Structure 1
Amino acid sequence: MIRLASVNVNGIRAAMRKGMGEWLESVNADIVTLQEVRATEDILVPLVPGWHVLSDEATAKGRAGVALLSREPAVAHRTDFGAVDFDSKGRWLEGDFEIGGAKITVVSTYVHSGEADTPKQVEKFKFLDAMNERMPQLREHAEHVAIVGDLNVGHREFDIKNWRGNRKKSGFLPSERSYFDGFFGEGEVEAIDGVTRPGHGWADVGRRFAGEVDGPYTWWSNRGQAFDNDTGWRIDYHMVSPALAASVEHYRVDRYPSYDTRWSDHAPVVVDYNI
């Protein structure tokens, strides 16, 4: 059994001050992926004693940043992603692990938040294009692969409480959701924006496990009473290869008991894989 947890920490130093350390020790995970670390490795490592740490810092200091924490060291890792002229630093980190005789490749990823009709959205589409290219390669690299983290897109109407009011905003644009139709589809996929895409056949563990229901949400705005009213977005995913999807034993979102006990605006996602 491998327990894999993922969370956008919204700044590791602030998260640790607010109580993340207690969760990290109690979750009993084999691998934990972090997004939006916003700290250099020399700051991160002392904050997580007892863990082997891989990290990829963003080009801009204090921005983005992804990491992989593991109880056993990775046997290999990679950060190459996308075209040579594309800056993906701090947003894509692959690690190969062997745990109890089982092999798994885990990707910690932080997709751009984007902003409709701006250069930020162009960068987001470049990232999604690079994912589209990399996913088949990962399937060839390993049988059990998990791309996990903050993908910053709500794929379906179930994934956003106020989906009607967000149809023209980054995170729920048809042109973004179209990629996810391809990621999770089979064969030739007629995507929501009318584009025909090749289906990659990966599994959305959260949606498979929860079924056709609203949520469970993983991010809530700090504005108003979004958390208290559960007006959230499900934008943190475990997107896994078919072989790994067949091994899922349990999925959960570690939603905080109350607004004032949160240590991030995202909640951790925890999945048990029986491989």
Structure 2
Amino acid sequence: MLRIATANINGIRAAHRRGFGDWLATRGCDVVTLQEVRCPVDALPEGAFGDYQVAYDAGSIAGRNGVAVLTRSPAAAVRSWSVPDPDRALPRTLRRHVDEGRYVEVELADVPLTVASLYLPKGGLPAHLQDPKRMREAPDGGARYQRKMEFMAGFARYLAAARKAAAARGREFLLTGDLNVAHSRLDVANWRRSNQVEGFLPEERAWLDAQLSPRTLVDVVRRLHPDVEGPYSWWSWLGQAYAKDAGWRIDYHLATPALARSAVSAVVDREHAGVRLSDHAPVVVDYAF
């Protein structure tokens, strides 16, 4: 059995104060992928990742982003956008993101599997939906929206290349992480109010839909929980969203078909020892692989 978790920890130092270290030491995961680690290497807490081997791209933006893949044994290969890959060119629309700490992947040494961690930009609203009276951030004329859409267009090409490269090496492929997109009505508690909210825009949902098919990538959690509302993986810190389980499912395991078929359970660790580790929660899947 192979246990793989993904978690947006919203800052490794804050997560450790809430008990992340104990969760990591006791959850029994073989692979853990992280997003928003938000910490340069030289400022990581002592023993930040326990006994795991670490592939880490912190990025260069202070206090933001940062992705990692933790494994029990050293990886056979590691790739991130901050190090040019002669075998896989970045699409033009991704080149502006190479120093942001948004993607890292590893080839596991003891299993024919490549695992990637992605933190996709949150984005914003297109200009025609921006209403200053309803926005927490100042209107930007759709700049954040456009940046996210360009990222997604480039990443679709990059993802297809990564999946095919893994297959050429006789490996399955698993994309995990915070995609900042909820795919369907089952993935947002208050979906009627969210049709004009970033992360649930029709064009964002269509993009995610285009990445999934029985021949390419499968949404593992939805495969195991086909008719369930959620299970949600993000809740606002504000109000009663968490208490009422009024969340979003935006943290994913997207697996090649054979790997997806081997998944036997998928759970969301809403809290550890009664404490939320982040505004997101780890999504843990067991694969009989």
TM-score normalized by structure 2? Answer: 0.85
Give the alignment partner of residue 237 of structure 1, picking from 249, 252, 258: 252
Q: Which residue identity is paired with 1:212?
A: D
What are the ranges of 5 or more consecutive residues in structure 1 without an aligned counterpart?
187-199
2:212 is matched with which residue?
184
Which digits, 9 at most, give the CA deviation of each residue in 1:162-184, with x for residues without a partner? 11111111100001001111111
Which digits, 9 at most, give the CA deviation of each residue in 1:232-271, with x for residues without a partner? 000000011112112112211111279x711201010011
CA gap of 1:185–1:36, structure 2 versus 1, over 3 A, is: same
The whole-number CA distance in structure 2 between the counterparts of 1:85 and 1:205 is: 29
Q: Does 1:34 align with 2:34?
A: yes
2:85 is matched with which residue?
none
The whole-number CA distance in structure 1 between the counterparts of 2:203 and 2:75 is: 35
Give identity over the alignment, percent. Answer: 42
Which digits, 9 at most, give the CA deviation of each residue in 1:136-176, with x for residues without a partner? 21222223111001010000000000111111111000010
The whole-number CA distance in structure 2 between the counterparts of 1:146 and 1:272 is: 13
The whole-number CA distance in structure 1 between the counterparts of 2:12 and 2:224 is: 29
Which digits, 9 at most, give the CA deviation of each residue in 1:176-195, with x for residues without a partner? 00111111136xxxxxxxxx
Q: Does 1:266 align with 2:280?
A: yes
Q: Does 1:137 align with 2:150?
A: no
Q: How much does 1:42 deviate?
A: 2.5
The whole-number CA distance in structure 2 between the counterparts of 1:44 and 1:159 is: 33
2:76 is matched with which residue?
75
Q: Does 1:251 align with 2:251?
A: no
CA gap of 1:16–1:272, structure 2 versus 1, over 3 A, is: same
TM-score normalized by structure 1? Answer: 0.89
CA contact (8 A) 2:76 2:107 kept: yes
The whole-number CA distance in structure 2 between the counterparts of 1:37 and 1:139 is: 25
Q: Which residue identity is paired with 1:105?
A: T
Aligned 1:95-110 pairs, distance under 5 A? 95-99=106-110, 102-110=111-119
Which digits, 9 at most, give the CA deviation of each residue in 1:40-88, with x for residues without a partner? 1233373123111111122311111101111111111111344264214
SS of 1:93's partner is: strand
Q: Does 1:204 align with 2:219?
A: yes
The whole-number CA distance in structure 2 between the counterparts of 1:78 and 1:222 is: 34
CA gap of 1:243–1:62, structure 2 versus 1, over 3 A, is: same
Q: How much does 1:116 deviate?
A: 0.6
What are the ranges of 5 or more consecutive residues in structure 2 without an aligned counterpart?
82-89, 127-141
SS of 2:109's partner is: strand
Q: Which residue identity is paired with 1:9?
A: I
Please, which moves more after superposition, 11-20 or 41-50? 41-50
